[in-house]
């Protein structure tokens, strides 16, 4: 294939004018002359190097180009949608007509390479490294434990770097607001924000001048890194134009009739509407960034005119700077700050956003809603001339031959009251359930003048006007209660929501629309509004978040118990830490992508590859027929697991089932080709998608195990003063690991080398061997680190590795797969949903006598990873009940085979029990916390699974937390708050925890080697570093045991050679057992060298080791750990959490006001790491309970929430505003390894405290209209669900 040319020109400041081809570049790299001819090259500056690339594909993104260059893999890739932030880089550019460069952060995965003409780009490698010195941002993030798995860290670093470049003295609020586009699944955000706020001008510590933040770029002057051949322009690729005038744009369009043309500024829209298949391809791209007329802004006496290429960020700045000119400008700017995120707003234009809603019926544009309400008009040009349109008329214009030129935004007339609203699934970076903007002229007597403009988005395919309501309000006095009543009645008729599958319910969106107008109505007469409802008129302003962390250490035992950052944290912050997807490409390497079915519960009759075989980059398609003789179509080979196929053969169990594997030149080609392949079906049946549907269809797996039986539950219930029945459920959860499923398989002379993002090297090794029909010893699996896992890379990652191995076998070439998020979410299983029905017998005081319960779990289509036994072993949580009968039932559904997810089984099991206790208290009208206290375990009692609690501290922890969190005083305040506020309510909840940790049957191998040359030590262990800090804890134990500095110890990648037959990393036990193995190995080494040391007297460490070597002492030790215990659990961890939530009753939006966590971590080996685990687990749990939901197509079974556009883990402004974490002090674990306890999973099980706090607030809202206090709040309790439980009734609206 023809190669793409790339030339590095050395220091960008060297030439005044560099002649390259037929173009001329100025000193800033921008074109000095322009042509209407298509572009075939692009020039820019990268980390101080001037770079020239020609003949690249117009589809090539800046991110893909960067990651194809050696040494530039620090800029990560995950979603390809602008929804995660791990690909952020910093840019300086000079927009046409601008006087100076602007420094901004951008999403590199959405940025076409051709669009960066003349830009100065800085990546994480360009600001600091281990060789040139780390940047202060990198250091702060690392030292303040802001990096766990580390995959997201470079994106956070570069976002902060861009902010400081743009604003050297930001406030803490500006810093918090800056990270609306960065997702971290590991840390819980608190330490990241804390690290970044050390640069704030209003921070308590000394401020650092921006001049001190620069470092010398280590890449200047280095030779060209070249360009991957597969990024070359293909024969069917579109033409790329960068005209300099609007006339040129129209000429290009006119000269290409019938061509599919895309006009772009930032091209961020493809993050929502992806280029997935040939149907999405364009013939021509026209880059508008070279047209100065489209960047013009003009302020006249009556309006503001803004060019179409002006970015959202620039528009916001213009409105803010001129807010004194028109009263509505500040509100429009505030609303636009809720559109997408900072890096997207930095490059996406307002006009491009309008075009998205013009071209797509499912894009609820906030820009359209607010501009329409403000009366904006658009100037649109085509070859015949230009015309002006209103926003609503614009939707009817045929734009195929036309271009938006500008917008005219009129100043608000005197008396105009303008407000806008956006209600989202989470507090940042989300599409709206409903957005609205209202503009109404009100005279001093509160009488409406003229016709109001009432615009709603998210109701129909496009924004709608409430015409009847607007007409009714004319000349009406707003202080007349009948005006409000009549307006609400009219609006009830105006608002007729449609019912897309992925939207919130019709009922919620209608109720929300009416509620938002009510809020606006109150704002218009705010001076006349009752104090009890005034909060509905005033938007909630979230304070800056803060946190405290408290723990004890044992200095005499350092570095064990010493709070130190992760060893690799600075490398993670600098982008130098290598993940599987970062491994440089091998010669002749191919990329792989799965072909997925689109219909579940159907017979497969064949696949059609005709179109695929003609697409660029195509190599071949593999199916089950290509598995070699002797191999098996099975990637699950561990003892006790049932076979699961790599490829579906004749039956599609679920939509998303892998049916074939595409091999192509690049990952982008492979993904596109896979999308083009169609699967044919027959005998299509309606898929079973929920537990309730499975129960109806009696679709169950064989019994997962015996029921829990303790005492006589039936008799105890029958003899109780109260018998209470109910049910409760909780849904699925996507792991949202930032590094999606990834594997690289390399054919070797004696087998295969596999690099895999896996938690289980042994299972991955056996899967490859089984599929290829070769000895296990012919497969070597290595993993250095994993960019997040949470259980999702235990049994699921072997399928990816096995498929890549099959590709390597078929082609005799290396094969890599970096799965895109859509495929990952559709194909890979998630946390299992749960449903429980219960009957409880209890006393008048709420003491539970007996529980009879059936617990259903949804294991998906295969059931290998059913977690129901884990749920049963946590079903009691922290409560003693004498009589139990709990029956487990595992359901089979037409969904992906569900799998372990952080705290598998225990998280839903504990939630079920907490819901039961809550239900008892509410049914008896008792204080919930008093009922919990009455039922808490006491030392010496026995669990329903027959484990005596010989070390039970739950009551002491409860009392300590209850006092330190000031629960009683806060309850009193909340009661008063709720009494004086009708539409804002608060709730508080305390949740205890008992979490069992089991070691039995978990083999791990450790190898410790001391090198005689310099005495340094290398360790490899059976665990995998997934962000939990296992390598750091292992190094601490090794250093303490050997008596050397931790700097002398290196932790090597985990692999199948030194850890044969090993267990997965999971269950929160790997760190402890790896530390045990290292402790034993180092103790043995110490035993060997001590006699030599005694003879030598007082040698240095190096002298001692060299002497040992000279006399033949074995300086390596291999230890195999295989722990057994008398019971299923070796010990229990205990904890308690108090959460306080504030609820907007009218919308369902919540803010977590404060969280207090007290967790028993024993004698923590590393408190910094363990606090990080507590916080990260808790926020991941918050997402499970409050924001993360799944929606399936009921007919095909296709997952509809399979990307960052629809699936919403928590963001940085969803975390607790006031967050206090304490590790129980002076509480060594007599049973634990080095007196410690696990921290990775148990704290997550207390996160349901947020849901229950929200429930308390809902109960207060329901009490206003005598609504029942007895109800179950299922998880996830998303914004729309919570609002509906509040029973909002417009007849209750008053002022």
Alpha-carbon distance of 51 to 6, in angstroms, equals 7
Spell out a b/e string for 124-159, using b for 16 or more CB atoms within 10 Å of the CB, else e. bbbbbbeebebbbbbbbbbbbbbbbbbbbbbbbbbb
Query: Do 37 and 125 form a contact (C-beta atoms < 8 A)?
Result: no
Query: Which token pair is 92?
Result: 């300086």
Distance (Å, whole) CA 232 – CA 1079? 53
- 1214 neighbors 427 (Cβ within 8 angstroms): yes
Closest CA to 55 of 36, 39, 40: 40
Nearest 5°: phi and psi at 649?
Answer: -110, -70
Q: Give the DSSP per-residue string, 99-143.
A: SS-EEEEEEGGGSBGGGGTT-EEE-GGGT-BTTTB--HHHHHHHH
Integer CA distances (angstroms), 1235 to 847, 956, 1084, 1160, 1232, in order: 34, 19, 20, 11, 5
Q: For residue 269, give both structure tokens.
A: 């829209």
CA–CA dist 1233, 1243 (Å, integer): 19
**Separation of alpha carbons 403 and 735, rounded Å:** 42
User: Is 1241 among the catalytic positions?
Assistant: yes
Per the CB < 8 A criterion, the answer to whether 787 and 739 are in contact is yes
Strands (E) located in 1071-1130: 1116-1122
Structure-block tokens of residue 521: 């109505």
Could you give the CA distance from residue 625 to residue 660 in angstroms, rounded to a whole number? 10
Within 13 Å of residue 403, how many CA atoms lie on the same side as its CB?
30
Which residue among 739, 1175, 1241, 1259 is the active-site one?
1241
CB 273 within 8 Å of CB 226: no
Sign of CA dihedral 713, 718, 723, 727: positive
Strands 239-241 and 284-287: parallel
Dist. CA 1250–CA 1247, nearest whole Å: 6
The alpha-helical segments, DSSP class H, found in 836-966 are 868-872, 906-923, 928-935, 954-964
Sequence-ordered list of residues with C-beta below 8 angstroms from that of 386, at least 6 positions apart, any chain: 379, 380, 405
Beta-carbon contacts of 894 under 8 Å, excluding residues fewer than 6 positions away, are: 600, 601, 653, 654, 655, 687, 688, 689, 861, 1197
**Cβ atoms < 10 Å from Cβ of 282:** 17
Rounded Cα distance, 880 and 850, in Å? 10
Closest CA to 34 of 96, 99, 120, 100: 96
Examine residue 789 and say whether the peptide bond preceding it is cis (omega within 30 degrees of 0). Answer: no
Q: How many CB atoms lie within 10 A of CB 725?
A: 12
Q: What burial class does residue 438 get, using C-beta atoms within 10 Å of its C-beta: 0-12 exposed, 13-18 middle, 19+ buried? A: buried
Residue 631 — φ and ψ, nearest 5°?
-85, 165
DSSP count for the chain of H helices, then E strands: 33, 45
Pairing type for strands 848-858 and 834-842 reads antiparallel
Of 779, 796, 793, the closest CA to residue 1055 belongs to 779
Q: Which residues pair with 651 in a beta bridge?
A: 603
Give the C-alpha separation, 1152 to 988, whole Å.
Answer: 10
**Residues assigned a catalytic role:** 1241
């Amino acid at each position: 294939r023809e190669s793409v040319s790339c030339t590095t020109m050395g220091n960008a400041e060297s030439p005044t004018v560099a002649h390259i081809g037929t173009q001329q570049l100025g000193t800033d790299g921008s074109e000095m002359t322009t042509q209407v001819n298509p572009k075939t090259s692009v020039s820019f500056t990268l980390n101080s190097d001037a770079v020239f690339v020609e003949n690249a594909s117009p589809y090539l993104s800046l991110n893909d180009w960067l990651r194809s260059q050696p040494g530039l893999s620090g800029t990560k890739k995950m979603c390809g949608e602008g929804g995660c932030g791990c690909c952020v880089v910093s840019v300086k550019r000079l927009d046409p007509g601008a006087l100076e460069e602007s420094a901004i952060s951008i999403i590199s995965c959405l940025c076409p390479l051709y669009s960066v003409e003349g830009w100065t780009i800085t990546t994480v490698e360009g600001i600091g490294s281990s060789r040139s010195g780390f940047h202060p941002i990198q250091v702060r993030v690392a030292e303040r434990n802001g990096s766990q798995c580390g995959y997201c860290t470079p994106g956070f670093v570069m976002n902060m770097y861009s902010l400081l470049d743009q604003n050297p003295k930001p406030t803490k609020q500006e810093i918090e607001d800056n990270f609306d586009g960065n997702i971290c699944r590991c840390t819980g955000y608190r330490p990241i924000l804390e690290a970044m706020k050390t640069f704030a001008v209003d921070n308590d510590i000394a401020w650092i001048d921006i001049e001190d933040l620069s470092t010398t770029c280590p890449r200047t002057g280095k030779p060209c890194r070249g360009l991957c051949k597969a990024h070359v322009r293909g024969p069917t690729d579109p033409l790329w134009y960068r005209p300099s005038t609007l006339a040129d744009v129209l000429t290009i369009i006119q000269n290409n009739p019938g061509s599919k043309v895309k006009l772009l500024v930032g091209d961020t829209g493809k993050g929502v509407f992806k280029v997935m298949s040939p149907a999405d391809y364009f013939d021509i791209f026209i880059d508008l960034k070279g047209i100065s007329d489209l960047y013009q802004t003009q302020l006249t006496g009556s309006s503001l005119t803004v060019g179409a290429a002006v970015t959202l960020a620039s528009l916001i700045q213009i409105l803010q700077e001129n807010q004194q000119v028109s009263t509505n400008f500040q509100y429009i700017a505030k609303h636009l700050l809720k559109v997408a995120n900072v890096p997207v707003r930095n490059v996406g234009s307002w006009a491009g956003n309008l075009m998205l809603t013009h071209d797509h019926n499912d894009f609820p544009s906030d820009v359209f809603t607010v501009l329409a309400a403000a009366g904006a008009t658009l100037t649109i040009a085509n070859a015949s001339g230009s015309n002006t349109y209103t926003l609503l008329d614009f939707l009817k214009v045929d734009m195929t031959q036309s271009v938006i030129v500008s917008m005219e935004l009129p100043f608000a007339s005197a008396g105009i009251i303008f407000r806008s609203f956006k209600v989202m699934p989470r507090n940042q970076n989300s599409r709206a359930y409903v957005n609205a903007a209202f503009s109404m002229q009100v005279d001093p007597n509160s009488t409406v003048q003229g016709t109001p403009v009432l615009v709603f988005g998210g109701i129909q395919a496009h924004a709608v006007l409430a015409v009847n309501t607007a007409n009714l309000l004319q000349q009406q006095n707003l202080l007349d209660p009948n005006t409000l009543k009549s307006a609400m009645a009219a609006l009830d008729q105006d608002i007729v929501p449609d019912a897309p599958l992925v939207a919130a319910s019709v009922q919620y969106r209608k109720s929300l629309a009416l509620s938002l107008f009510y809020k606006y109505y109150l704002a218009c007469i705010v001076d006349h509004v009752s104090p009890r409802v005034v909060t509905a008129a005033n938007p909630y302003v979230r304070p800056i978040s803060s946190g405290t962390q408290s723990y004890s250490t044992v200095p005499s035992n350092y570095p064990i118990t010493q709070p130190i950052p992760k060893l690799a944290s600075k490398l993670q912050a600098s982008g130098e830490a290598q993940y599987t997807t970062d491994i440089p490409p091998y010669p002749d390497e191919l990329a792989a992508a799965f072909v997925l079915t689109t219909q579940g519960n159907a017979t497969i009759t064949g696949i059609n590859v005709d179109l695929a075989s003609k697409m660029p980059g195509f190599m071949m398609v593999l199916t089950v027929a290509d598995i070699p003789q002797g191999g098996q179509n099975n990637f699950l080979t561990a003892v006790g697991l049932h076979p699961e196929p790599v490829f579906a053969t004749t039956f599609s169990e679920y939509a998303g089932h892998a049916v074939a594997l595409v091999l192509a030149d690049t990952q982008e080609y492979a993904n596109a080709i896979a999308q083009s392949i169609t699967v044919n079906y027959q005998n299509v049946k309606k898929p079973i998608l929920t537990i309730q549907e499975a129960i109806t269809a009696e679709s169950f797996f064989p019994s997962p195990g015996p029921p829990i039986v303790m005492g006589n539950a039936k008799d105890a219930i029958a003899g109780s003063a109260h018998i209470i029945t109910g049910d409760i459920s909780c849904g699925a959860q996507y792991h949202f690991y930032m590094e999606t499923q990834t594997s690289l398989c390399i054919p070797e002379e004696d087998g295969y080398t596999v690099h895999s993002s896996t938690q289980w090297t042994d299972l991955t090794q056996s899967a490859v061997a089984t599929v290829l029909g070769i000895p296990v010893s012919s497969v070597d699996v290595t993993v250095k680190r994993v960019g997040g896992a949470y259980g999702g890379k235990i049994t699921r990652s072997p399928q990816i590795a096995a498929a890549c191995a099959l590709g390597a076998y078929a082609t005799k070439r290396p094969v890599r797969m970096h799965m895109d998020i859509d495929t990952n979410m559709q194909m890979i299983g998630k946390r299992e949903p749960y449903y429980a029905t219960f009957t409880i017998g209890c006393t008048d005081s709420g003491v539970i006598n007996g529980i009879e319960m059936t617990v259903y779990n949804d294991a998906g289509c295969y059931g290998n990873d059913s977690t129901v036994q884990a749920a049963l072993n946590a079903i009691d949580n922290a409560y003693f009940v004498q009589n139990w009968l709990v029956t487990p039932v595992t359901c089979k559904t037409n969904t992906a085979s569900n799998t372990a997810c952080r705290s598998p089984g225990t998280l839903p099991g504990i939630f079920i029990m907490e819901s039961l206790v809550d239900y008892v208290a509410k049914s008896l009208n008792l204080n919930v916390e008093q009922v919990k206290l009455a039922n808490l375990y006491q030392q010496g009692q026995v669990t329903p699974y027959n484990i005596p609690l010989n070390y039970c501290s739950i009551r002491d922890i409860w009392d300590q937390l209850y006092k330190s969190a000031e629960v009683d005083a806060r309850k009193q305040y909340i009661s008063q708050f709720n009494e004086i506020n009708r539409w804002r309510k608060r709730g508080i909840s305390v949740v205890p925890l008992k979490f069992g940790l089991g070691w039995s049957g978990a083999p791990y191998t450790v190898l410790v080697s001391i090198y005689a040359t310099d005495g340094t030590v290398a360790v490899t262990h059976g665990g995998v570093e997934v962000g939990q800090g296992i390598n750091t804890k292992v190094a601490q134990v090794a250093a303490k045991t050997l008596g050397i500095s931790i700097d002398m110890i290196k932790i090597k990648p985990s692999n199948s050679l030194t850890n044969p037959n090993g267990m997965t990393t999971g269950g929160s036990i790997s760190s402890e057992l790896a530390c045990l193995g290292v402790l034993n190995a180092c103790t043995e080494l110490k035993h060997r060298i001590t006699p030599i040391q005694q003879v030598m007297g007082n040698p240095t460490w190096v002298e001692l080791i060299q002497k040992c070597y000279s006399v033949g002492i074995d300086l390596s030790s291999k230890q195999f750990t295989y722990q057994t215990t008398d019971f299923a659990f070796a010990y229990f961890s205990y904890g308690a959490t108090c959460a306080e939530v504030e609820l907007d009753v009218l919308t369902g939006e919540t803010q977590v006001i404060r969280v207090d966590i007290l967790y028993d971590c024993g004698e923590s080996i590393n408190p910094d790491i363990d606090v990080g685990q507590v916080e990260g687990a808790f926020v991941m749990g918050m997402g499970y309970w409050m924001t993360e939901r799944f929606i399936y197509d009921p007919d095909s079974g296709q997952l509809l929430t399979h990307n960052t556009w629809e699936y919403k883990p928590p963001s940085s402004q969803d975390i607790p505003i006031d967050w206090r974490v304490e590790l129980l002090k002076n509480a060594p674990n007599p049973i634990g390894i080095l007196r410690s306890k696990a921290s990775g999973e148990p704290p997550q099980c207390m996160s349901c405290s947020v849901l229950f706090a929200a429930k308390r607030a809902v109960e207060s809202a329901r009490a206003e209209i005598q609504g029942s206090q007895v109800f179950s709040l299922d998880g996830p309790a998303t914004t729309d669900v919570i609002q509906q439980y509040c029973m909002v009734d417009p007849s209750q609206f008053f002022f």
